[in-house]
Structure 1
Amino acid sequence: MNLFRFLAASTVLAVSTACASMGGHSPFDSSLIKDARPDEAKAYSDFLIARFAAMTNDPQMAAERYSSAIDTAPEKSGIADRALFASLLSGEYQEGVRVAQRANLLGSDAALVRLTLAVDALRRGRDADAQTMLEQSRFGPFNRMIARGLSAWRVVESEGTGAAVRYLEDGLSGDPRLDSAALYMMGLIELSAGNDDQALAVFESLWETGSRLAVGVEAHAQLLAYRGQRAEALAMLSEFDREIGHNAAIARLHEAIERGDKIKVRRLKPEEGAALAIYVPAAALMSQTDDDVSAVYFVLALALDPDLHVARSLWAQSLANAERWEEAISVLVRIPDSSAFYGTSRGQIAWALHNSGRDQSALAVAQDALENSSDRGLKVQIADLYRTLGRQEAADRLLTRTISDDARQGREDWRLFFARGASRESLGKWHQAEQDLLKALALQPDDPSLLNYVGYLYVDRGENLDQAMNMIQRAAEQAPNSGHIIDSLGWAHYRLGNYDLAVEHLERAVELEPGDPVLNDHLGDAYWQAGRKLEAKFQWRRTLSLDPAAEQRDVIEAKLTAGPLEPVVKQAESDKGSMLLPLQPR
């Protein structure tokens, strides 16, 4: 019987029994009481608890309850699939394998079941089992990419490098954008076998197409430096940093080459290569989605290569994205201090502590990490943490150190100038802040957040008003669905006295971000100045229901009594004498 039908039938039965008992006063039949619940009732109970646990970020409980429901649920394989996902999501790889085996016996053909069993087979050296599980026609596009990479490294183990390369070549589409992951695997396979010329040829062709996969670029640069082409390797790593951003492994290699260290080429074992075949698509998936699906793939990759610390770092980030702070910390503490990702992992721990309300512990971890690591990514993370905690002087000092270190290496990062400018503005150092913000704009003239921030500050100060409005409008054009940027545009019109335009934009901002108390408060002010006072009071009362900050709540309650303080309208750039209430650029 379907579980939902069972629930409906049970409800009808319960109601009719209750009515009969009340109306006829029939004696209660004690034989109806049994020691055990009916199997379907227990399965449904377990299923509902598991579903609730899954929706409330408790995958461990979800896995336990789904597993409990497998034997008694009418639709066993579907429950087993859910139990597997929850097991892996909670980091329980071995339990995941056991559940995948049960699901397979129950007839499940789910992609995650087969990938989990394939990983288990590869770890145990069971080539035939792995080959069966990796039959690509049974996968969708994303999982097919993973299965193809795993199959290539399986073939390396069973048939040799040449067979693996031919296998990958047979599946190429001819479009470098679609083939880049397979081509990087091909280069790494050639490199693992010592075929350096062939590997270099593959890597060079990928670099020319503009492909920038960190693990592939690292291997490419290692090979160049190993062959004595250090200048070429450094140029490549610097370009990666400029185009893609900081990567701890890339940064460590860059420093080692600069120091003149002897560079070794890492030649992957099949299980290490197979781990990368899972990690690379999972990392790409994580960059494109906000959910935690990628976490299950990181767990599978780490089952093959426990030293793939970049996967551990991203796994922790996916946990943090789901606000599972304790689990994120438990994953991060397993990254050893010998890893290139140790520094950034300490920064991640500090942020997890802050986000779970332990600011003093976060600061202690941050300070200890800075004393024991020179990692640039860590410095940026901690500077951002300092800014969030209101420690603007500390943020300024740390950002200044990082900007100076960058300058010695010929690097200029607009994000650091933006961050330092924001800190200095908070400290009241407007001249220095303006210099940093204009420098950031010179380096990155089209970033909507930066345009919005600088334009907003200028409007607040009554300076460069035409330019400021142009900046905010450009930001809004690039991010028309950003409630905060549309709010900036409306609030700028408000501060300039254009109340009808302000209302138009602020209504749109609230539509985009209905739960933001600041945006709702702004709309209330605009309604008031536009003569719509009843609507203004309604909007302020709504703002109070959205749990605003304490200082904002006090201001709103005052406005409900007396209305807002009349703004000073700035008509021209020369009118700099009248300062308004401080704004918080968004």
Structure 2
Amino acid sequence: MATPGTGWIGSGSMTRAHAAPAQEDKSVEVNIRSFAAAFLAAQTADAQFDLASAITFYRKALEFDPTNERIRERLMVDLFMDGRFDEGIEIVRSLEADGAVDQLRDLALAVDAMRRGDYDKAVDHLDTASTNPIDRLLNTLIAAWADAGAGDGAKALASLESLEGPPWYPVFTQFHAAAIAEFMGDIAKARQIYQTAVTDKSTGSAAPDTFVRTVMALAALEARQGNMRAALDTLALGEEFSPGFAPITAMRQSIKNNDLPDLDVTDARQGAAAALFSLGSAVNRKGAEETVTLYLQLARALDPENAATLVTLGNLKETLGKREEAIAIYRQVPKDSPMRRISELQLGLALSDLGNHEEARAHLKALIEADPSDLRSYLAYGSVLSSDEDYEAMAETYEKAIAIVGAVPSRNDWNLFFQLGIAYERLKQWPRAEAALQRALQLYPNQPQVMNYLGYSWIDMNINLEAGMEMIQAAVDLRPNDGYIVDSLGWAYYRLGAYEEAVQELERAVELRPADPTINDHLGDAYWRVGRKIEAGFQWNRALIHEPTPELEAEIKAKLKDGLPPVEPSPSVPSANGEPKTTPRAPEPRAPATGSDDLPEKTEWRPLRGNAAHFG
């Protein structure tokens, strides 16, 4: 397997262009009269992750050149990524040996064998001695489940216990070894391995999804054995590691109601699917979309109704701009799954992103009415209201959510107050906005988004200048690679007339967010003020290229025509009504990526706009 981000077909012209911008599904229309035209059309569709069109064009290319193995390989990859396993496996069987696709071909053949229950054949296809650490781990995990499916649990456990590799291996091997022991009926062995795994949170950070799944599997085991106190104490470990994770909350309630959880993995096929999901979620980051999609779709071929796989795949489709595909996947999450509500929240946000605002609002409002105690619903609905600039309804929504929280909100509730503060700031009700932002910081001291917003607002109103600058600088120190927060620091310097310092920070912000029109516009203004007028024009033109809002576009065009007016004397008093003049920039609500040894970095899945849903 190629390392994530480099494609599954090696280097050269057949590799996916990951740098291409994500777009909605649009079939490429081209008059196909030659192999070259079909091939170029397929690559264009491939670069946009328009799999349906790419498959059509690769098949057309094969009509012109039926023996072209590279085209057949790429077609195979796209079929698997599009969830069309049966079509992809037909191509696999016809491919000659090619080192560029050995891992994918053999993995697909192993999955096919397991689907048919031919576990011995599945093992034959897996290279458990691969020099690639991820391939070696994945192949060993699937081979272990095949051995377990064939009835040889001792061999399966021995292969996992003897596997040597990087320090992040145990979080995967221990979960699967314990699950295999439980699957084979050795409860004592399963408990012992699970307990060892959940006590090592340091390795859990390498694969949060697998660590939390281990915690839940142990809790479920204890509950089925009648050890309810031990089950609830185990879930507390998961809640500490991943606060607010919906499936843990659902399991806790089920156990309290004496509704015993089912066995997590009931057959070897589900176990192999869990292995694919484990690695797919662990390597999930920008640039690895192709690898992650393949892992998830192969997992789906083995376990079609697995909710975690479906939700994660739906999120990935959204990241790639394929929202209609994401919505279709979210609708497939089983209605009795604890993940169903998460899928419904994501579905509502995807509808909004597609421009179906009324449908999105109705969908999310219905979720609130169905369960008024679920705060995630308010965050999702508030996010859509914010996109619609319906700030009165947004403020009302967050006030209702805060009322549900009650008089003693927790640290996890900080975002409700943050979003309420944003709503009141947009409504030009600054005293209410300031109070909400201050409350958010009381609940979550040093939260960089809140510090950025509040500090900038103070500076923009020419009040609390020293405290405001210190707050923004502290936010930058906490999130030095967040272009929006760095932009706020640069723009704060600009507002205070410190133009040289503004240029320095805004140049860094543009490096971090080169395609943001507002940041480019800000840098253009700063260049103008320090006398670098040619560079100012260049930045303003760059801002226009990146599709600014109509209002900003008009302002930029005016500046390109006439430049900036002379600097007015800095005001010595706050604005008359105590309201900010310029909206502070809020950073993306995505957590910074973290890595572990040579395991590819894991970037947290979308707490999509306003932390509407939390995946741990």
Tell me if both proteins adopt one fold, taking TM over 0.5 as the criterion: yes
Going from structure 1 to structure 2, the CA distance change for 1:538 and 1:343 (only over 3 Å counts) comes to same
Measured after TM superposition, the shift of residue 242 of structure 1 is 4.4
Structure-2 residue corresponding to 1:215: 213
Partner SS, residue 585 of structure 2:
coil
Structure-2 residue corresponding to 1:18: none
Residue 563 of structure 1 pairs with residue 561 of structure 2: no
Which letter maps to 1:346? E
Structure-1 residue corresponding to 2:80: 88
Which letter maps to 1:584? P
Which letter maps to 2:366? D
Going from structure 1 to structure 2, the CA distance change for 1:424 and 1:223 (only over 3 Å counts) comes to farther
Find the aligned partners of 1:97 and 1:363 in 2 and give their Cα distance.
41
Which letter maps to 1:434? E
Going from structure 1 to structure 2, the CA distance change for 1:542 and 1:222 (only over 3 Å counts) comes to closer
Find the aligned partners of 2:445 and 2:196 in 1 and give their Cα distance.
31
Going from structure 1 to structure 2, the CA distance change for 1:312 and 1:499 (only over 3 Å counts) comes to same
Given the two structures, how large is their TM-score scaled by the length of structure 1?
A: 0.83
Structure-2 residue corresponding to 1:111: 103
Residue 137 of structure 1 pairs with residue 129 of structure 2: yes
Find the aligned partners of 1:422 and 1:579 in 2 and give their Cα distance.
13
1:159-200 alpha-carbon deviations (Å, 9 max, x no partner): 33222211211114594x321101000111122233222222
1:311-366 alpha-carbon deviations (Å, 9 max, x no partner): 01111111111111221122122223222222121222222222222212222222
Measured after TM superposition, the shift of residue 392 of structure 1 is 3.3
Residue 357 of structure 1 pairs with residue 355 of structure 2: yes
Structure-2 residue corresponding to 1:29: none
Question: Which 10-residue stretch deviates more, 473-482 or 320-329?
Answer: 473-482
Find the aligned partners of 2:42 and 2:254 in 1 and give their Cα distance.
49
Structure-2 residue corresponding to 1:182: 173
Query: Which one of the candidate residues 179, 185, 191 is aligned to 2:182?
Result: 191
Structure-2 residue corresponding to 1:423: 423
Measured after TM superposition, the shift of residue 541 of structure 1 is 4.9
1:199-250 alpha-carbon deviations (Å, 9 max, x no partner): 2221221111113523222212222333444444334434434432443322
Unaligned regions of 5+ residues in structure 1, if any? 6-40
Find the aligned partners of 2:322 and 2:278 in 1 and give their Cα distance.
23
Which letter maps to 1:342? R
Structure-2 residue corresponding to 1:8: none
Give the structure with the larger helix fraction: 1
Structure-2 residue corresponding to 1:322: 320
* Superposition pairs of residues 151-550 of structure 1, within 5 angstroms: 151-173=143-165, 175=167, 177-210=168-201, 211=204, 212=208, 213-287=211-285, 289=287, 291-373=289-371, 376-403=375-402, 411-413=410-412, 414-532=414-532, 536=536, 539-550=539-550
Contact 1:482/1:512 (<8 A) preserved? yes
Which letter maps to 1:87? L
Measured after TM superposition, the shift of residue 407 of structure 1 is 6.3
Contact 2:138/2:275 (<8 A) preserved? yes
Question: Which 10-residue stretch deviates more, 210-219 or 550-559?
Answer: 550-559
1:487-517 alpha-carbon deviations (Å, 9 max, x no partner): 2111101111212222232233334434322
Contact 2:430/2:579 (<8 A) preserved? no
Going from structure 1 to structure 2, the CA distance change for 1:222 and 1:432 (only over 3 Å counts) comes to farther
Measured after TM superposition, the shift of residue 105 of structure 1 is 6.7
Residue 53 of structure 1 pairs with residue 45 of structure 2: yes
Going from structure 1 to structure 2, the CA distance change for 1:203 and 1:382 (only over 3 Å counts) comes to farther
Going from structure 1 to structure 2, the CA distance change for 1:120 and 1:534 (only over 3 Å counts) comes to closer
Aligned residue pair count: 545
Which letter maps to 1:555? E
Query: Which one of the candidate residues 105, 116, 122 is aligned to 1:124?
Result: 116
Going from structure 1 to structure 2, the CA distance change for 1:74 and 1:236 (only over 3 Å counts) comes to same
Which letter maps to 2:134? F
Measured after TM superposition, the shift of residue 264 of structure 1 is 4.6
Going from structure 1 to structure 2, the CA distance change for 1:533 and 1:121 (only over 3 Å counts) comes to closer
Unaligned regions of 5+ residues in structure 2, if any? 1-11, 14-32, 587-616
Please report the RMSD computed on the Cα atoms of aligned residues, expressed in angstroms. 3.2
Going from structure 1 to structure 2, the CA distance change for 1:535 and 1:407 (only over 3 Å counts) comes to same
Question: Which 10-residue stretch deviates more, 532-541 or 490-499?
Answer: 532-541
Going from structure 1 to structure 2, the CA distance change for 1:144 and 1:290 (only over 3 Å counts) comes to closer
Going from structure 1 to structure 2, the CA distance change for 1:432 and 1:152 (only over 3 Å counts) comes to farther
Question: Which 10-residue stretch deviates more, 51-60 or 405-414?
Answer: 405-414
Q: Percent identity?
A: 29
Structure-2 residue corresponding to 1:30: none
Contact 2:276/2:299 (<8 A) preserved? yes
Which letter maps to 2:142? L
Higher relative contact order (CA 8 A, sep 6+): 2
